[in-house]
Amino acid sequence: MYSVHCMNNISQAGLDKLYKSFAPAKTLDAADAVIVRSTNMHELDLPSGLLAVARAGAGVNNIPLDRCSEQGTVVFNTPGANANAVKELVVAGMLMASRDLIGSAQWVSEHADDETIAKDAEKAKNQFGGSEISGKTLGVIGLGAIGAAVANAGRRLGMHVLGFDPYLSIYAAWSLDRHVHYVQRLADILETADYITIHVPANDSTRGMIGRDQIAQMKDGVVVLNFARDALVDEQAMARALESGHVSRYVTDFANPTTTHMKNALVFSHLGASTKEAEANCAAMAVDQLEEYLLEGNIVNSVNFGDVDLGPIQTDERIVVLHRNIPNMIGQFSTILAESNLNIENMANKRRGENATTLIETSGPWDDSVIERISAVEGVYRTRMIPGHEM
Amino acid sequence: MYSVHCLNNIAKVGTDRLGDNFTLTDNIDTAQAIMVRSASLHDVDFSHELLAIGRAGAGVNNIPLDRCAEQGIVVFNTPGANANGVKEMVIAGMLLAARDIVGGIEWVDENSDDPNVGKQAEKAKKDFAGTELAGKNLGVIGLGAIGAMVANAGRSLGMHVYGYDPFLSVKYAWSLDRHVRHVNNLSEIWANCDYITIHVPATDKTRGMIGRDEIAAMKDGVVFLNYARDALVDEIAMSEALQTGHVRRYMTDFANSVTTQMKHAVVTPHLGASTKEAEDNCAVMCADELRDYLENGNITNSVNYGAVDMGPMDGAMRLGVFHLNVPNMIGQITSLVSGAGVNIENMTDKSRGNYAYCLLDLGSELSDTTIAQLSSIDGIYRVRAIRK
């Protein structure tokens, strides 16, 4: 039985699930795999036998990815586990941008001791009134798990929804309400939406993607919501657009010295995933992914190796090879197998960046020498044999 | 041609719907109809020209209903026109109760000059974390226009919804998501629901209906939302329940000396209907009601006369008779009309409290003399003849 060490507390439901399949490991050194939330692992020595690191959550900048890759440790995260939590916060953000609920609640607090507050409220409330979201146009940039959930919620709240995502997955497409209007150009959203929300990862091609030019194309009085990453938005340009009133509200989950001084910004304290349910989902998903990898060799949602899935092991054993993504690796593996008289029954290979995963099932039994020969191939980080299931 | 006087600003989308048969007038004494929002009419003397008052909104305590009824002036309001405005407020209320978003924003405000505010937020945020709505149980008390929309919205956010309304109408039953579970007993709501929202009018029967015993029967940590009327809730009992934590949050749209002092209450200053769309919808609905009444004699959503709808007017003459709701009125009306040799083709009579309205389609025109005779019957307030 594999043993797993929890570096941070996870929910009881997650623990129960974990220890159904795995033994607890008290320390990192004794563990085959770890589950981590926010602990910084950059300064830690990782045991060479560590097979996997599962991050219960989305961001992985507390994990030394390159070091993990080179020693053949697969790092997982749990994208989408917090999708509903973020979706609900986006809905709250839209509603709070539409009527000044915060300003009005503050007004009530300030007048709490005023005896005629009920009457005064009827006069004061004009300054806090606003509009409804039903019937308005919502533009969703990025239709992954979160964006798709937001788009569907918009539809159900009576909004016209435009979705933009040049990399739309089949899974997300399938989950989308059929009345979500799929647009081909970002400009279609910028020019027509009353509310624009962004749900893409921050990388070199998305950083600053909502810049001065994009903001200039937006409708007057637009509301922009950012519950993804602050780096996606050119915040200096946003500050100016808020100042001029071109953007009526910027709702962001990211407090920094620029956002906190913006006019008409609603700055949340990074609460997007801060729900009990999201935490539990992350833990459950992390455990599922560890089970799938440790017991079957399948990789789902890894951030440093390619995702592969051959289903449950069909033969007597399955071999997992983690290696660099360089030419002729598969050729070398298959030559070694052929020389050992092993026929390949099933094989999958998937790259991710500089690394790749190969899963192999063969007809005959393996001996240690085959494993050793594959491990010795230049560029292979780790070779692991998993016994098949008893029929 | 009818003339209408607007006592408050009425959205143009509303007045535009009155059509070619109408003009707006600045003179209240020559107007056949008044459109009003919050201006008080209690001290206004109504001219004999005035046939109807349309209140663009729900509450009518700025209008002397009985005095109007006795002058044969029909008062309309626009229930449901603000339903979506309130529904969105309730959703916001649930979300603000689920996570302490407001507390988080205030924390950011207080720390706005800290250059490391982003990093600090990562530590501070657990104080504001919470739960999600999806998967929780929502109880909706009262399934009228607003309650039905709230129930459906709860469903679409992934909640399990329990609805309670002993007077549920066919119209709203039809509009309800079929997964809304209809319960016959409020105790089912108390026992099951994590969020409870109330959408009933304040009447003698409903005042204080959320009292100490009801609150005690609710689940520990329940969130209660009140965007209907403050009088529905025993607020002293609610304060105590918030103090002990039995009720986790009270979200209310009614600021008063009790709610503003409550622990764990989020109090907004009556913003439920404060949207441009609700205002527009009210104006449109109000104009439609006035137009149908002035042109066809039909009454929809009156607060002092019963609802009568005989469709568009197409006979020789349509007669509207406003009368006291006492025996033998219809007998006297019909015998006078038939005595004049005029056939009654269709008739509807509808009472509301002390007052009743009788609408008759006649086969031929009734003479002014007969109309005057009708008007002089004891208990008849007004006779209105609509000619094609």
Please report the ipTM that was assigned to this predicted complex.
0.83
- For the segment A97-123, the average pLDDT, to the nearest whole number, is 93
Sorted by sequence, the CB contacts under 8 Å of residue A153 that are 6+ apart come out as A87, A90, A91, B156, B157
Residue B28: is its pLDDT beyond 90?
A: yes
Of residues B37, B32, B31, B33, the one with CA closest to residue B7: B37
Same domain, A241 and A291: no
Contacts across the A-B interface (CB distance below 8 Å): 184
Tokens 């004891």 map to which residue? B378
Q: Do domains B1-82+276-304 and B83-97+131-267 have the same CATH topology?
A: yes
Same domain, A108 and A232: yes
DSSP conformation letters of A193-257: -SEEEE----STTTTT-B-HHHHHHSPTTEEEEE-S-GGGB-HHHHHHHHHHTSEEEEEES---T
How many structural domains is chain A composed of?
Answer: 3
Q: Is B39 on the interface with A (CB under 8 A)?
A: no
- For the segment B333-355, the average pLDDT, to the nearest whole number, is 93
Same domain, A173 and A112: yes
Sorted by sequence, the CB contacts under 8 Å of residue B207 that are 6+ apart come out as B231, B232
Same domain, A99 and A237: yes
3-state helix, strand, coil in chain A (%, to 5): 35, 20, 40
Sorted by sequence, the CB contacts under 8 Å of residue B41 that are 6+ apart come out as B7, B34, B53, B62, B63, B64
Give the pLDDT band (50/70/90) at residue A223: very high
- For the segment A13-42, the average pLDDT, to the nearest whole number, is 92
Contacts 24+ apart (CB under 8 A), A237-246: A237/A211, A237/A212, A238/A210, A238/A262, A239/A263, A241/A215, A245/A220, A245/A221, A246/A215, A246/A216, A246/A218, A246/A220, A246/A221, A246/A222
Q: Which of residues 102-131 of B touch A (CB under 8 A)?
A: 102, 104-105, 107-109, 111-113, 115, 117-118, 121-122, 124-126, 128-131
Report pLDDT for A38.
Answer: 82
Report pLDDT for A391.
Answer: 57
Report pLDDT for A314.
Answer: 82
Same domain, A247 and A103: yes
Report pLDDT for A79.
Answer: 86
Pick the residue of B132, B250, B259, B261 with the most A CBs within 10 A to test the interface with A by mutation. Answer: B132
Burial (Cβ within 10 Å: 0-12, 13-18, ≥19) of residue B33 = buried
Residue A57: is its pLDDT beyond 90?
A: no
- For the segment B7-16, the average pLDDT, to the nearest whole number, is 91
Count the neighbouring beta carbons within 10 Å of the beta carbon of residue B368.
9
CATH architecture for the domain at B83-97+131-267: 3-Layer(aba) Sandwich (3.40)
Give the pLDDT band (50/70/90) at residue A11: confident
CATH architecture for the domain at B1-82+276-304: 3-Layer(aba) Sandwich (3.40)
- For the segment B143-172, the average pLDDT, to the nearest whole number, is 95
Report pLDDT for A157.
Answer: 96
Report pLDDT for A201.
Answer: 85
Chain B hits for A156, Cβ within 8 Å: 153, 156-157
Q: Coil, helix or strand for A36?
A: strand
The pTM for the full model equals 0.84
Q: Using the beta-carbon criterion (under 8 Å), do B96 and A256 form an inter-chain contact?
A: no
Chain B hits for A107, Cβ within 8 Å: 269
The domain that holds A312 is classified in CATH as 3.30.70.260
Average pLDDT, chain A: 93
- For the segment B341-359, the average pLDDT, to the nearest whole number, is 93
Same domain, A127 and A258: yes
Give the pLDDT band (50/70/90) at residue B103: very high
Report pLDDT for A123.
Answer: 87
- For the segment B257-270, the average pLDDT, to the nearest whole number, is 95
Same domain, A350 and A288: no
The chain B residue lying nearest A128, using CA atoms, is B271
Q: With pLDDT > 90 as the criterion, what percentage of chain A qualifies?
A: 79
Report pLDDT for B59.
Answer: 80
Regarding the domain with residue range B310-388, which homologous superfamily does it belong to in the CATH classification? ACT domain (3.30.70.260)
- For the segment A264-281, the average pLDDT, to the nearest whole number, is 93
Q: Check: CB of residue B60 under 8 Å from CB of residue B192.
A: no
DSSP designation for A354: T
Report pLDDT for A388.
Answer: 84
Of residues A381, A378, A374, the one with CA closest to residue A347: A374
Last residue of a domain, one of A304, A322, A354: A304
HSE of B124, CA atoms in CB hemisphere, 13 A: 21
Q: Using the beta-carbon criterion (under 8 Å), do A88 and B98 form an inter-chain contact?
A: yes
Give the pLDDT band (50/70/90) at residue B279: very high
Sorted by sequence, the CB contacts under 8 Å of residue B251 that are 6+ apart come out as B93, B94, B96, B97, B223, B224, B225, B226, B227, B265, B266
Same domain, A87 and A42: no
HSE of B45, CA atoms in CB hemisphere, 13 A: 3
Q: With pLDDT > 70 as the criterion, what percentage of chain A qualifies?
A: 99
The domain that holds A24 is classified in CATH as 3.40.50.720
Query: Which tens digits make up the pLDDT trace of A236-271?
Result: 999 999 999 999 999 999 999 999 999 999 999 999
Q: Using the beta-carbon criterion (under 8 Å), do A88 and B278 form an inter-chain contact?
A: no
Chain A hits for B129, Cβ within 8 Å: 271, 274-276
Pick the residue of A82, A91, A269 with the most B CBs within 10 A to test the interface with B by mutation. Answer: A269
Same domain, A362 and A298: no
Range of the domain at A68: 1-82+276-304
B294 min Cα distance to partner chain A (Å):
31
B89 min Cα distance to partner chain A (Å):
8
Q: CA-CA distance, A191 to A179, in Å (whole number)?
A: 19
Domain extent listing, chain B: 1-82+276-304, 83-97+131-267, 310-388
The more confidently predicted of residues A389 and A124 is: A124
End-to-end CA distance of chain A: 19
Residue A390: is its pLDDT beyond 80?
A: no
Count the neighbouring beta carbons within 10 Å of the beta carbon of residue B253.
27
Sorted by sequence, the CB contacts under 8 Å of residue A66 that are 6+ apart come out as none
The chain B residue lying nearest A269, using CA atoms, is B104
- For the segment B204-219, the average pLDDT, to the nearest whole number, is 96
Report pLDDT for B335.
Answer: 94
- For the segment A155-175, the average pLDDT, to the nearest whole number, is 93
Q: Write b or e for each residue in A252-277: b if 16 or more Cβ atoms lie within 10 A of its Cβ, otherwise e.
A: bbbbbebbbebebbbbbbbbbbbbeb
Average pLDDT, chain B: 95
Q: CA-CA distance, A59 to A77, in Å (whole number)?
A: 7
